[in-house]
Amino acid sequence: MAKKFQFRLATLLKIRTHEVDRLQRELAAILQRKAEVEHQLLHYRQRLETEAGQFEKQRPHSIHELETRWHYLRRLQIELDTLEQHYQYLVDQETHCRQQLTAALQRQRSLEKLKERKQQEYQHLLQQQEEKQMDEISQRRHSHNKSTE
């Protein structure tokens, strides 16, 4: 009975597969956070537009009201700027993670191709050994048949 095929780098392939899985989960988490921040950005932009429009339409009754509205609009703008910076950070993280994932997938694929090639070589070797055994059996029968005649 022939030995079962064993890929010597199976552990490394398993590690590479886990690395790809981890990076895919990390990318998914980044994309989720990015979508949440996009939603927040949209909300803040709409809110800022609405408040600025109301500020233009309704004239303040006092300097205190004017100052309060101005500070509120300024605070909204600061929060919007902060969110935009965070969004850009997430875009950079996404780019970096995608690059890492691409490299990890390439390393994984190269090991998988090596495994396939080694498995094909092993199958070819088994086939050759089987053919050799069949030839030997055939020769023995042929020589045994000649000797009995």
For residue 58, give the 3-state DSSP assignment. coil
pLDDT in the model for residue 41 = 96
- Asked whether residue 119 is assigned to any structural domain, the reply reads no
Give the C-alpha separation, 60 to 54, whole Å: 10
DSSP of 67-127: HHHHHHHHHHHHHHHHHHHHHHHHHHHHHHHHHHHHHHHHHHHHHHHHHHHHHHHHHHHHH
Residue 41: inside a domain? yes
- Residue 136 inside a domain? The answer is no
Mean pLDDT (10-residue bins), the chain, 149 residues: 81 96 98 97 92 77 84 92 97 98 97 95 92 87 71
Q: Is residue 61 part of a domain?
A: yes
Query: Is 89 inside any structural domain?
Result: yes
What's the pLDDT at 122? 93
Residue 54's pLDDT is what? 80
Token digits of residue 131:
């053919």
What is the reported pLDDT for 28?
98
CA angle in degrees (0–180, nearest 5) for 145-147-149:
70
Overall number of domains in the chain: 1
Domain that residue 77 falls in: 10-113
Residue 23 lies in a domain: yes
pLDDT of residue 15: 96
- pLDDT of res. 2: 59
Q: What angle do CA 29, 112, 131 make, to 5 degrees?
A: 160
Please name the amino acid found at residue 39.
Answer: H
**Does residue 47 lie in a domain region?**
yes
